[in-house]
């Protein structure tokens, strides 16, 4: 488990990445998929996920599709056209960020090898 | 993999509502989420125990915490916009009010326009937006109560000031109510803010600012006409009373059937009526029975000057009579400060006064 501080800053990007790859997903599916993909190292809490999804919906980045399952409603979230452009920007920013972090944290090690 | 009965699903749905989640779309999300969680549990534990575990996963703030967070995130862009409106309108209205006050004191034209637009901006934009954003940022009940109290105080202040400016009735009641609320709000605001080290400095300095504004408001509201004005009013009243008394005296001593007596009687009656009209017509007056505008003064002036000229014409043949002179009473452009002293005098009377 990583600290919630690290996860909080990346949650939005993780959600966008998943929706971009999978098309449409419902809330529980997102938490389960992240747990599965990261071997449980990243645990998205419900307390953070739903506020983020609703904020994305209010911003017009995602839209919902409801499906009735017995007595309950399941809401699938998917990217809008605007959301796809937004996701692309966010993901390339994240990739760039990860590279930068790598330079920052492996920089000295790299020099030693050189 | 277990499955949930309809009753169990209804139970969860109701429980989510009872726990304070009132947003429908969030209710749906949470219901589906909890159901998925429970369905995934393979063991034989009873439903209640698993449901409790599902709730535990939502952390300390619980379901309502999720809703608060959601509402905050969704409303944040609007709140930021509202804050901008609040600060902008606050700055503009403060500028208009300060300049308006300066112009008013200097008797420059345009003071009323500035004062009125400043007050309107403050009443309808700054105060509601500022206190609404303050209110939504308060998480504790006590903070919400105090900001509501602040909103009431501020609305009373602004409307009271506006009523006073427009000379509408009810201004005094509003300002007394404002004073009452202000004296409750201010200490609560400062004490509550000072307890928290994070807000100590800001609440004390804001409190000082509020105290200055409130005190200034009260001074403005309870002000009386200046001494020069009240003095001149006293002189007007003395003039009139003395003159009328003198005329009544002359009346009593004169020949019953003479034209002098008739003319004087008519004049005294007319003046008496005018004076009583001006003093009792409350809606049209401010302070010590002073009419608000020259329009309202016009009938008064006409009546007396008519009475004076009628008297002068009738008495023209009397060798002992010196004509009366009447100077119109009028208000100046700037409102309540300058009056021309009304003179109603005979030469003999002036000499007697010397």
| The pLDDT of residue B4 | 83
Lowest-confidence region among A64-73, B43-52, B297-306: B297-306
| The pLDDT of residue B228 | 57
Whether B72 and A69 lie within 8 Å, measured CB to CB:
no
Backbone torsions φ then ψ of B335, nearest 5 degrees? 110, -120
Whether A46 and B66 lie within 8 Å, measured CB to CB:
yes
| The pLDDT of residue A19 | 93
Share of chain B above pLDDT 70, in %: 64
Residues of chain A contacting B61 with CB distance shorter than 8 Å: 47
| Closest residue of chain A to B12, computed from CA coordinates | A72
Strand ranges, E, within A1-114: 24-26, 62-69, 72-79
pLDDT of residue B221 exceeding 70, the answer is no
The Cα–Cα gap between B297 and B299 comes to 6
Which has the higher per-residue pLDDT, B214 or B9? B9
pLDDT band at B332 (very low <50, low <70, confident <90, very high): very low
The Cα–Cα gap between A50 and A56 comes to 10
Q: pTM higher than 0.90, yes or no?
A: no
Short-list B346, B354, B307, B340, CA closest to B325: B346
For residue B126, what are the contacts with CB-CB under 8 A and spacing of at least 6?
B86, B89, B90, B93
Instruction: Report ipTM for this prediction.
Output: 0.85
Of A26, A54, A70, Cβ closest to residue B26: A54
Structure tokens at A3: 């600290």
A13-17, A65-69, B160-164, B242-246: which has the highest mean pLDDT? Answer: A13-17
3-class SS shares of chain A: helix, strand, coil, % to 5: 65, 15, 15
| The pLDDT of residue B136 | 75
Short-list B141, B143, B136, CA closest to B195: B143
Whether A71 and B70 lie within 8 Å, measured CB to CB:
no
Average pLDDT, chain B: 74
Short-list A65, A30, A31, A22, CA closest to B28: A65
Give B182-229 as a DSSP string. Answer: HHHHHHHHHHHHHHSTTTHHHHHHHHHHHHHHHHHHHHHHT----HHH
**Mean pLDDT of all residues in B82-93:** 89
Half-sphere exposure of B353 (CA within 13 A, CB side): 15
Disruptive mutation site among B2, B9, B16, B33 for chain A (greatest number of A CBs within 10 Å): B33
Whether B32 and A74 lie within 8 Å, measured CB to CB:
yes
For B31, counting Cβ atoms within 10 Å of its Cβ (0-12 exposed, 13-18 middle, 19+ buried), the class is buried
pLDDT of residue B298 exceeding 80, the answer is no
Q: Count of CB atoms within 10 A of residue B66's CB? A: 25
Lowest-confidence region among A90-99, B111-120, B285-294: B285-294
Short-list B249, B260, B270, CA closest to B315: B260
Q: Considering only CB atoms, which residues of chain A are within 8 Å of chain B? A: 26-29, 45-48, 50-55, 58-59, 64, 66, 69-75
pLDDT band at B270 (very low <50, low <70, confident <90, very high): low
pLDDT of residue B260 exceeding 90, the answer is no
B9 touches chain A (CB under 8 A): yes
- In tens, the pLDDT along A29-42 reads 999 999 999 998 88
| The pLDDT of residue B343 | 41
**Mean pLDDT of all residues in B29-49:** 86
pLDDT of residue B250 exceeding 90, the answer is no
pLDDT of residue A79 exceeding 90, the answer is yes
pLDDT band at B289 (very low <50, low <70, confident <90, very high): very low
Cα–Cα distance list, B175 to A64, B25, B102, B180 (Å): 52, 46, 22, 9
Of B10, B13, B66, Cβ closest to residue A51: B66
Three-point CA angle B232, B233, B234, nearest 5°: 90
Which has the higher per-residue pLDDT, B348 or B329? B329
B192 close to B143: Cβ distance less than 8 angstroms: yes
Of A47, A72, A75, Cβ closest to residue B9: A72
The Cα–Cα gap between B326 and B328 comes to 6
Whether B9 and A26 lie within 8 Å, measured CB to CB:
no
Disruptive mutation site among B14, B27, B40, B66 for chain A (greatest number of A CBs within 10 Å): B66
């Amino acid at each position: 488990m990583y600290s919630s501080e690290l996860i909080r800053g990346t949650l939005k990007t993780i959600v966008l990445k998943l929706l971009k790859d999978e098309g449409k997903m419902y809330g529980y599916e997102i938490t389960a998929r992240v747990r599965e993909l990261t071997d449980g190292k990243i645990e998205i809490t419900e307390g953070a996920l739903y506020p983020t999804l609703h904020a994305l919906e209010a911003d017009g980045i995602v839209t919902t599709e409801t499906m009735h399952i017995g007595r309950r409603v399941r809401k699938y979230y998917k990217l809008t056209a605007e959301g796809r452009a937004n996701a692309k920007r966010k993901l390339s920013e994240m990739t760039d960020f990860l590279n930068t972090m790598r330079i920052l944290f492996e920089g000295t090690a790299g020099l030693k090898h050189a | 993999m277990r499955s949930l009965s309809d009753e169990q699903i209804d139970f969860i749905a109701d429980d989510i509502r009872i726990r304070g989640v009132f947003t429908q779309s969030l209710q749906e999300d949470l219901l589906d989420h909890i159901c998925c969680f429970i369905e995934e549990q393979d063991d034989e534990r009873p439903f209640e125990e698993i449901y409790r575990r599902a709730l535990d996963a939502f952390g300390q703030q619980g379901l309502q915490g999720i809703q608060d967070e959601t509402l905050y995130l969704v409303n944040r862009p609007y709140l930021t916009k509202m804050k901008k409106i609040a600060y902008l309108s606050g700055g503009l209205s403060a500028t208009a009010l300060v300049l308006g006050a300066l112009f008013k004191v200097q008797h420059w034209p345009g003071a009323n326009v500035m004062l009125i637009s400043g007050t309107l901006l403050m009443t309808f934009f700054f105060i509601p937006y500022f206190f609404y954003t303050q209110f939504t940022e308060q998480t504790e009940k006590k903070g919400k109560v105090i900001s509501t109290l602040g909103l009431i105080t501020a609305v009373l202040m602004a409307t009271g000031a506006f009523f006073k400016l427009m000379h509408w009735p009810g201004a005094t009641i509003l300002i007394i109510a404002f004073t009452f609320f202000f004296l409750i709000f201010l200490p609560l605001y400062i004490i509550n803010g000072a307890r928290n080290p994070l807000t100590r400095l800001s609440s004390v300095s804001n409190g000082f600012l509020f105290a200055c504004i409130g005190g200034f408001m009260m001074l403005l509201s309870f002000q009386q006409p200046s001494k020069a004005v009240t003095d001149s009013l006293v002189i007007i009243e003395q003039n009139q009373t003395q003159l009328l008394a003198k005329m009544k005296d002359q009346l009593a001593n004169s020949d019953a059937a003479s034209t002098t007596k008739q003319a004087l009687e008519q004049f005294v009656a007319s003046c008496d009526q005018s004076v009583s009209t001006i003093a009792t017509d409350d809606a049209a007056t401010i302070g010590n029975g002073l009419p608000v505008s020259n329009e309202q003064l016009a009938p008064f002036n006409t009546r007396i000057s008519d009475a004076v000229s009628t008297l002068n014409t009738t008495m023209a043949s009397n060798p002992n009579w010196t004509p009366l002179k009447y100077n119109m009473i009028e208000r100046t452009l700037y409102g309540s400060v300058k009056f021309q002293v009304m003179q109603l005098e005979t030469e003999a009377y002036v000499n007697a006064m010397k």
